[in-house]
Amino acid sequence: MSYTSYFYLLFFLGALVILYYLMPLKRRWLVLLGGSYFFYWLASGKLIVFLLITTVSVYLGALAMEREQKAFDSVRKSLEKEEKKARKAAMMRRKRHIVLAMVLINVGLLAFLKYYHFFSANVNALGNSLNLGIQLPALKLVMPLGISFYTLSAVGYVIDVYRGQTAADHHFGRLALFLSLFTNITEGPISRYGQLAGQAFEGHRVDYRQFTFGAQLILWGLFQKMVLADRAALLVSTVFRSPSDYSGGVVILAMFVYTLQIYADFAGCMDIVRGSGALFGIEITRNFHQPFFSRSIGEFWRRWHMTLGAWFKDYIFYPVTLSKTNMKLGRWAKKHLSPHLGQVMPTAFALFFVWLANGIWHGAAWKYVAYGMYYYVLTLFGLLFKPMIFLFYKKTGIQKDSRPWQFFLILRTFILVNIGMLLFRADSLPVFAGMFVSMFRKTTGHWLELGLDVHDLAVLAVGALLMLVVGILREKGICIRERIASLPIIWRWMIYASAFCAIVLLGAYGSGYGVVDPLYANF
């Protein structure tokens, strides 16, 4: 079920809000759980079993780890130092086995369903070229909705329990709700147990302000998704469907419009789900923070798909950075190479796994691996040349905080991100290479023959400008909803009514426009 469908907006959300607030406070979580499973079943049918496997496995796994911990805690005071150490090591070993099993089951399921085709195709190609006689069978596999998102939430939960950062949840319903909440299940944000489980489970009273703010956020999300992203999709699919027909300005335009599409699509859906959560008094984590005002690639990834970046940081970057092998690598580099490389190499080693995971998380294809490596190389470049960049500022006397220089940094990051988006959208690496080179050739193709008429292009331009203005205001710390709320009712309602009419009239839906599934729902 799409978040922009009438069924979701008028019936599902409407019915759920009414049922939720009619239910006694302590039972309200049951409405959310029932609604979430109904939502999932409508979208995935029998594949709901995979969500249940994940939920049951991490529920039992966390309880088993807690039992181990409690058994140790109950005797620890009575133990001698040496025995305590040995018993603790044994307990930690058992907990490690459990968490490893949980990660293997869940990540294994995700890996099998998502990457088997990619893996088998590559193994078979290699086997054929080397005459090894290896032939992995072709399997008909279907991906359950949101598996890439809820698996990370589930794995994060068991690792947190293993680390002792979170207590194991004894309430199966609460855990099931955390992993299935309809606002997060399709395309995130990747929720953390500590942030979401408690507040989703807890019954909330009607909070008028939060409720109306939620409705406004849904409107803004619908505008981004339906008016901008789905309209941009027409131009993007026209150019990327036959990239060899276009070159020069048209390819550059398609690249920028795709960046607009993916941002308006993903951020728009995030605003719809955050607004939906607010209707129930739930605060859904932010996933975007004006990413296109970033001054560096690192900052961009702290502002774009923030929950994914944070997950990789907590569950890949830190463990790898703090691993014994990596520490040794750092010491070796410091001693044999230079103090600077002694700092850079352990970070670079850990970042390699982060960017590799980031790439393949987005899809099972070599282009996604290249996508991750593209950002890895850019990040590495920044790390390696840090002393030289420092020297550059010193020698040239450029004021880092001056407006023109900040603008240059933003523009530079924007262009680098757009190249990354071109790689992300192109069908394959050779297609990306072809399109990239063709950008520097003479323009072929007419901008009015790319699936959008002049009216559509005008709507797209004005809409993008509106997004930019909203972004600038947010960057300045201005809460637009607060500002609107402080206006006299007549102005407020005129703004809401205009937004509503703009979505109805200018939305790229229905006849003449294809249905565009949320882009991140496929990852």
Partner 1 sequence: MHISNRKQFVKRALKIIVFVLLAVLLLEGMSKVLMPRSNSGSGGMHNYRARGFYGEEKNSLDIAAIGNSDLASGFSPMELWKSHGIAGFACGEPNQTIDQSVRLLQEVLTCQKPKVVILETDTLFQENMEGHLTSLVKTAVNYLFPVLEYHDRWKSVTLSELMGKQQKPWHDPGKGYRYSGDRVAYKGDDYMAETKEKEEIDAIAMKSLDQFVEICQEAGIQVMFMEMPSANSWNMARHRAVADYASSRNISFIDFNMKDRMKETGFDWMTDSRDGGNHLNYSGAKKISVWLGDYLAKDYQLEDHRKDSRYQRWQQDVSAYDRIVLGVVHQTADES
Contact footprint for partner 1 (CB under 8 A): 1-2, 5-7, 10-11, 42, 208, 453, 455, 493, 496-497, 500-501, 504-507, 509-513, 515
Cα(239)–Cα(438) distance, integer angstroms: 12
Q: At closest approach, how far in Å is the CB of 301 from partner 1?
A: 33
Nearer to partner 1, 396 or 511 (CB): 511
Nearer to partner 1, 154 or 452 (CB): 452
Nearer to partner 1, 61 or 281 (CB): 281
Distances (CA, A) of 340 to 321, 322, 386, 387: 16, 18, 9, 8
State phi, psi for 444 to the nearest 5 degrees. -125, 145
Give, rounded to a whole angstrom, the gap between the first and last alpha carbons of the chain: 16
Distances (CA, A) of 295 to 90, 300, 416, 470, 484: 48, 7, 11, 18, 30
Cross-strand partners of 444: 247
Task: Put residue 513 in one of left, alpha, beta given phi > 0 → left and psi -120 to 50 → alpha.
Answer: beta
Nearer to partner 1, 56 or 497 (CB): 497
Nearer to partner 1, 225 or 362 (CB): 225
The two tokens of residue 454 are: 């002049």
Rg (C-alpha) for the chain, rounded Å, is 25
Q: At closest approach, how far in Å is the CB of 457 from partner 1?
A: 12
> For residue 428, what is the enclosing H or E element?
none
Nearer to partner 1, 57 or 212 (CB): 212
Angle (CA) 208-211-216 rounded to 5° is 125
Q: At closest approach, how far in Å is the CB of 3 from partner 1?
A: 12
3-state SS string over 78-95? CCCHHHHHHHHHHHHHHH
Nearer to partner 1, 25 or 125 (CB): 25
Q: At closest approach, how far in Å is the CB of 231 from partner 1?
A: 11
CB 463 within 8 A of CB 223: yes
The two tokens of residue 511 are: 């006849």
DSSP conformation letters of 85-146? HHHHHHHHHHHHHHHHHHHHHHHHHHHHHHHHHHHHHHHHHHHHHTT----PPP----PPTT
CB 230 within 8 A of CB 456: no
Q: At closest approach, how far in Å is the CB of 223 from partner 1?
A: 14
Nearer to partner 1, 232 or 306 (CB): 232
The two tokens of residue 16 are: 């759920």
Angle (CA) 371-377-379 rounded to 5° is 105
CB 344 within 8 A of CB 384: yes
Alpha helices in 439-510 (DSSP H): 454-475, 480-485, 489-506
Residue 202 is given by DSSP the state S
Nearer to partner 1, 37 or 193 (CB): 37
The two tokens of residue 411 are: 């523009």
Nearer to partner 1, 6 or 385 (CB): 6
Cα(99)–Cα(159) distance, integer angstroms: 7
Q: At closest approach, how far in Å is the CB of 500 from partner 1?
A: 6
The two tokens of residue 363 are: 């899809």
Q: At closest approach, how far in Å is the CB of 489 from partner 1?
A: 8
C-alpha closest to that of 180 among 354, 39, 359, 28: 39
Nearer to partner 1, 7 or 392 (CB): 7
Q: At closest approach, how far in Å is the CB of 501 from partner 1?
A: 6
Cis omega before residue 144 (within 30°)?
no
Nearer to partner 1, 146 or 372 (CB): 146
Nearer to partner 1, 39 or 315 (CB): 39
Q: At closest approach, how far in Å is the CB of 29 from partner 1?
A: 23
Q: At closest approach, how far in Å is the CB of 496 from partner 1?
A: 7
Residue 384, C-beta contacts closer than 8 angstroms, at least 6 positions apart: 344
Cα(272)–Cα(260) distance, integer angstroms: 17
Q: At closest approach, how far in Å is the CB of 234 from partner 1?
A: 12
CB 58 within 8 A of CB 175: yes
Q: At closest approach, how far in Å is the CB of 177 from partner 1?
A: 23
Q: At closest approach, how far in Å is the CB of 400 from partner 1?
A: 47
Nearer to partner 1, 15 or 469 (CB): 15
Q: At closest approach, how far in Å is the CB of 510 from partner 1?
A: 6
